[in-house]
Structure 1
Amino acid sequence: MTTSLIAAGLAIVGALTVINLVVSYGVIRRLREHEQRFAERAGGQPDNLLMEAGGKVGDFAVPDLDGNPITLATFEGPTLAGFFSATCEPCAEVLPHFVATAAGWPGGARNVLAVVIDGGSGPEGYLASLRTVATVVGSDHAEPVSKAFGLRGVPGICVIEPDGTVRAGGRRVLTAGALAPVR
C-alpha cells in the first residue's frame, strides 16, 4: 500500500511538473512576442512624422509668439522645421540637437520654424531654448501649421525648400547630417 501511495504521489508530482513546464514555456514564448512588439514600438513611432520628402507643405497663416504674422512665404530659404510637445520624452531628447542645428542654420531664426504643442504642460523650457534660434509658434496656433505639414506625431523634423517642398524629414536626420543646408 505504501508503495502504491508513493507511486501515485510521484505520478501526481510528475504530472504537475510537466504541466508547469508547458505553462512556463507558453508564458516565456508570449513574453518574447510582447518584447518584440514593444521593441518595434520603442522607436515608438515611425521616424518621419511629417509628410514624406517631395511632398508640398500647405500654406498657413498664424502669429508667432511675438504676435508677428507668419505664413509659408515668411521663410526665405531652405527652412528647418520642428514640432515638439513638452509632454513628449523623445522631444526632450531631440530638442538639443534641433537647437544646435538651428543655431547654425543659414538665415538664422527667420529660416527656422519651431512649433511647440504644450499638451497641457508648461512648455517654458522649450520656448526659452527655441526663441533664440527659431520663429516659434505656440500651442494656441499650432493646429493650422501641423495640418499644413501633415504632422502625425511629435517630434516632427524636416527641411522645406522655399516653394514648400519637403527636402528631408525625420528626427534622426539631425544627427546624421541629412539636413545639411544647401549653400
Structure 2
Amino acid sequence: MALLTTAVVLLTVVVALHLLFTFGLVSRIHELQQQGAQVRDSNLPQPGTVIPAFSVADTNGITFTQADLDGPMQVGFFSVGCGPCRTLSDALLADPPAARFVSIVDGDPSDAGATARLADKLSGLGRVAVVDVDDPVLSAFGVIAFPTLLHTHGGVVTASGSKLSHFTDQPSPVA
C-alpha cells in the first residue's frame, strides 16, 4: 500500500509540474505573438522620421533629391526577384496611388534584363531609379528590407509598410 501511495504522490507531482510548464509555455507563446504584431513596424522607417539629404539619378538621368519630397509623395523600394515586391507592384499598378510616386529598384547586376523589366514595369507609377544594394539612398530612407512603401510629406515619413494592407487605416497622400 505504501508503494501505491508513493506512486500516486509522485505521479501527482509530475502532472502538476507538467501543467505548470504547459501554462508557462502557453503564456510565452501568447507574449511572442503580441510582440510579432509590432515586429513588422520595427524594421521600417517610423512616422515622423526626417529623411536626410540624398541624391540618385532616375532612369531618365534626372536627379531625385530630398528637395523633391516637398509635398505628398509615395516612395516604393523594390528588389529584382522578390516575390512580395512583385505582389506589391502589381497591386499598385492595378490601383495607382493619387500622390506622386517614385520607385527605387535594387537592381541585380547579374541579370540586367530582369532589372530593366522591373524598372519598365514600375515606370507606369512614376519615376524609377535603379540602385545597388549598398546605395546611400537606401540608408537615407532607412530601408533594410524589400518591399518597403513609404508615404512622405515635406521630407518626413508619414506612414510605412510592406503591403498595401498596412495602409488601410492611413489616409493616402493626395498630390
- When normalised by structure 2's length, the TM-score is 0.66
Give the letter for the 1:57 counterpart: I
- Whether contact under 8 Å (2:47, 2:156) holds in the other structure is yes
**Root-mean-square deviation (CA), in Å?**
3.9
1:38 aligns with 2:9: no
50, 61, 71: which one aligns with 2:64: 71
Specify every segment of 5 or more residues in structure 2 that has no aligned partner in the other structure, as ranges.
Answer: none
Give the letter for the 2:44 counterpart: L
Aligned residues: 168
- Whether contact under 8 Å (2:52, 2:140) holds in the other structure is yes
Q: Map 1:18-167 to 2 at 5 A.
A: 18-46=13-41, 49-53=44-48, 55-64=49-58, 66=59, 68-72=61-65, 73=67, 77-85=71-79, 94-100=88-94, 103-106=96-99, 111-117=100-106, 127=119, 129-140=121-132, 143-151=135-143, 153-161=145-153, 164-166=154-156
- Whether contact under 8 Å (2:98, 2:174) holds in the other structure is yes
State which drifts further: 169-178 or 15-24. 169-178
Percent identity of paired positions between Structure 1 and Structure 2: 21
Specify the SS of the correspondent of 1:57.
coil
Q: What is the match of residue 170 of structure 1?
A: 160
Q: Give 1:179 shift.
A: 1.9
Q: Give 1:50 shift.
A: 1.7
- When normalised by structure 1's length, the TM-score is 0.64
Cα 1:173–1:70, aligned 2, differ >3 Å: closer, same or farther? farther
Give the strand-richer structure, 1 or 2. Answer: 2
Q: Which is higher, the Rg of structure 1 or of structure 2?
A: 1
Q: Deviations over 1:44-94 (max 9, x none)?
A: 2227822533x4322322233x36243224567532112245687765665
Specify every segment of 5 or more residues in structure 1 that has no aligned partner in the other structure, as ranges.
Answer: none
Give the letter for the 2:155 counterpart: T
Distance 1:93 1:29 in 2: 39
Distance 1:9 1:62 in 2: 80
Cα 1:70–1:86, aligned 2, differ >3 Å: closer, same or farther? same
Q: Give 1:149 shift.
A: 1.9
Give the letter for the 2:130 counterpart: G
